[in-house]
Chain A
Amino acid sequence: MPSAPLLSRRQLLQAASLLGLSTAALGVRPTWAAPAGLANVYPQGLEDGPQVSLAVRREARQIAGKTAYPITLNGTSPGPLIRLREGQDASLKITNLLDEKTSVHWHGIILPSNMDGVPGLSYAGIAPGEVFTARFPVNQNGTYWYHSHSGLQEQLGHAGPMLIEPAEPEPFHYDREHVLLLTDWTFEDPRDVFRHLKVAEGYYNRQERTLVDFFDDVAKHGLAETWKQRSMWQQMRMSSRDIADVTGSTYTYLVNGHTAQDNWTALFRPGEKLRLRVINGSAMSYFDVRIPGVKMTVVAADGQPVQLVPVDEFRIAVAETYDVVVEPEADRAYTIFAEAMDRSGYVRATLAPRLGMVAPIPERRRIADRGMEAMAAHGGGMDHASMSTGSSDHSAKAAMDHSSMAGMDHSSMAGTDHSSMAGTDHSSMAGMDHGAHGTAHAPMAEMNHTPADQTASAAHGSGLLAAGVAQPESRYDQAGIGIDPAERRVLVYGDLKARTPWPDRRPPGRELELHLTGNMERYMWSFDGKKFSEVDGPIHFAHGERLRLIFVNTTMMEHPIHLHGMWMELENGAGELIPRKHTLNVKPGERVSALVTADAPGHWAFHCHLLYHMDAGMFRVVKVA
């Protein structure tokens, strides 16, 4: 395409967006505030596709009333909303005006690997002063996002939402939509954050257990029980309060670039149906999102449509997206409340019929203590040296026990509701006698089911679980740590069902089991005990094959695992209707599986989407050939 008409078209678009969107920028209102009736989908600017230009800069901006130096995209941080339409050929031009290399990864978009934006795999990155244009056909729709895949740039706000309008009308109705991009901002240099994590364990935790908690527990549960519980954690040299590595002690949580104080407001007319596109673009923070007084109906997860799930709250792992439809009826303000998983902070926005309204901020929850499942993950009560994840290949040995579990007789289970079975009594675990944890794993260890080399036997296609069946030791009926399911209806992975079966119905030809491993004290994170710098080569997928990925989390932290280039169909027990996602949250001690159709040749990044975990080595390359 000749560049001159392209430019004029672009100018036209800019002019249009200036008139349509940013009239408020001229007046006294905050720039994001457009009166009801206009689409203030997202306050950080709009770039309408299919031709989009992004200029990447580092410049001073005000965040929480202080001068900050984020990375901006077309002048805003986080960046503007990129709006594309299914069926278009996208042409996304990035101009690097930083003094270091940059990159943009289109998170969740199925595209050729050389357009995926991962330095070292897709290209060399974009050098300072250089321009790169990502061109790809848009063959999907939904809510996605984009972010830097270079160093720690994502922590500096190098991220933004991406919305793809469907070619066919969607099976649900809404009158208006808003994007809610959640991020975590720190005024520290991200390299310092990383150093603090590396050299001082628990540096950002200001919610450690204290003597005061101990006496509280003694009063509640008695001395013997408290002592038993505490001594177990102490023996493991771990903190049960290790919920988030980087916390509200340094983070200012933002929604669409705005703090809770800023009170970003999404407008509605009472009775309207609103579609909220919620994106967790944080570097490190999981959020629990709710709107007190309003039921939310989940309509899509990771951009992909799901059968409607009415919920009061949902947990959004780093890099996930959820679309919910809400119908606030009263002519009043509602608080959109996103609380960090470790309860060290929150951000709110307001849903209101007019600007300048506020609703109360709900009572904050207290940090939870990790319980048995986390201890079991780490092999509580077992010999720790042998569970060593950082320094040897022992984790592979630990893997044996688990893989042999796959050899269990599942036929009897296949018919039952797995999502509820997997976790029956887990929700009550927090209150359980933790002293008993030593026995929890015992039955498993004794289940000496033969195929030690599960992968080999799997290659023959025998002895595998049926497609879509939940792994034993998955906990798809639980939202996770710090959630009391009795309090309100919270979305769990078991709720997610595709609207119609995804096209490839083949059973998996083989299984690939990966252990999520780490050494908390050293802040080493890895797959199968090996950091990226320590592995010999990529993980191989045969082009066209259908395989099952199994993640076994042997650490005490949640990990949002992201595979580039291909969908992961989460085997949450929904059978034919398993949902597909780009990012899977794996809770401590959990065993999660997904089916993958390896239809995208090339080199793909595969990693934990916690930024500092990835940078510490929890990263692999998947090669499809």
Chain B
Amino acid sequence: MNVCARAVAGIGALSLASAALAQVEDIPPGWGVAMQEHHFGTLLVDRFEYAWSDDNEEALVWDFQGWYGGDRQRVYLKGEGENTQGDGEDAEFESLDLLYSHLIADFWELQGGLGYQGGLGSGDHPERGFAVVGLMGTLPYGIEVDTSLRVSEDGDVSASLEGEYDLRVTQRVILQPRAEIELAGSDVEEFGVGEGLNSTRLGLRLRYQITPKIAPYVGGYWEKQYGQTADFTRDEFGEVEGSGVVAGIRLWF
């Protein structure tokens, strides 16, 4: 599989990097290296929440990212999706990306790899694959952003931009505004995507850090669709603007 090949290539690159160890000549081989290079991995479930929308829909929503690697090169797995409750359908991944990531500046990583959208093993949702390029990092003022540009297997181009900010109210209470914008280069009716600005989504979450790794939260969101995307939704008798409340937990491993 393509995905696997990419992962293997990425991990290969990582081990190659770690092989470049500082050598001191005329030290007997077998003494080892004075300081080892280390690799790490982590998984952050940024959002794992239950959402109640103002049009009486309920959904389980998730958004996670994990990585493994060194200081400059890493392999990322990112996933975002939801399972609408009571619609008789299985969960859908809005995106599931496997990316190679390279540190290009102190606060910025350039990422590229493969993406997937669909039901992951379920026939309830249409599927498509992407080539993904992204830029992830922190803007001045500590605003964390994750952008990605996608080209689907059919050549359809789309982009997304996410930003969030942690405002520390106390050592444990953190207010997090977040914003998400989706754009597309062409109409893809099957996925309800219209050309141009698709949607914006704003959220505000207040979390309580029991430990830095476990933080339950409550919050709310507002979202709106635009243009052809909104029309596609209307055709399906869906709401193009709405809001909701959420309760969830942020986890970190």
Contacts and interface: CB of A to CB of B under 8 A. Distances in A.
B141 A235 contact: yes
Interface in B124-169: 138-142, 167-169
Interface string B166-190: 0111110000000000000000000
A446 interface: no
Contacts of A524: 71
A519 B32 CA distance: 27
Contacts, number: 125
B168 A210 contact: yes
A123 B31 contact: yes
A237 interface: yes
A614 interface: yes
Given A206-B171, A524-B71, A533 B103 contact: no
Given A237-B140, A537-B24, A120 B107 contact: no
A503 to B, nearest CB: 30
Interface in B2-41: 18, 20-25, 27-28, 30-38, 40-41
Nearest to A194: B38
A388 interface: yes
Contacts of B18: 533
B227 interface: no
Given A119-B32, A208-B171, A203 B106 contact: no
Given A119-B31, A195-B40, A198-B38, A519 B106 contact: yes
Contacts of B72: 391
A450 interface: no
Contacts of B106: 384-385, 388-391, 519, 521-522
A535 B72 CA distance: 15
Contacts of B30: 124
Given A121-B27, A125-B32, A537-B24, A521 B212 contact: no
A607 B35 CA distance: 11
Contacts of A385: 105-106
B35 A619 contact: yes
Nearest to A118: B34
Contact of B34 (A121, A208, A211): A121
B122 interface: no
B226 interface: no
Contact of B252 (A119, A120, A200, A619): A200
A621 B31 CA distance: 14
A509 interface: no
Contacts of B38: 194, 198, 615-616
A231 B37 CA distance: 35
Nearest to A199: B42
A603 B105 CA distance: 33
B169 A531 contact: no
Contacts of A120: 24, 27, 31-35
Interface string A521-534: 11010000001111
Contacts of A231: 141
A607 B34 CA distance: 11
B171 A522 contact: no
Contacts of A536: 22-23
B138 A237 contact: yes
Contacts of A124: 28, 30-32
A368 to B, nearest CB: 17
The 6 closest A-B pairs by CB, nearest first: A120-B34, A199-B42, A533-B37, A235-B140, A124-B31, A234-B141
Interface of B: 18, 20-25, 27-28, 30-38, 40-42, 71-72, 103-107, 138-142, 167-171, 212, 252
22 contacts: A120-B24, A120-B27, A120-B32, A120-B33, A120-B35, A124-B28, A207-B171, A211-B169, A231-B141, A234-B140, A237-B140, A388-B105, A391-B104, A521-B106, A521-B138, A532-B35, A533-B37, A536-B22, A537-B24, A605-B34, A616-B38, A623-B24
Given A121-B34, A388-B105, A521-B106, 7 more contacts: A121-B31, A199-B40, A519-B71, A519-B106, A521-B107, A532-B34, A623-B24
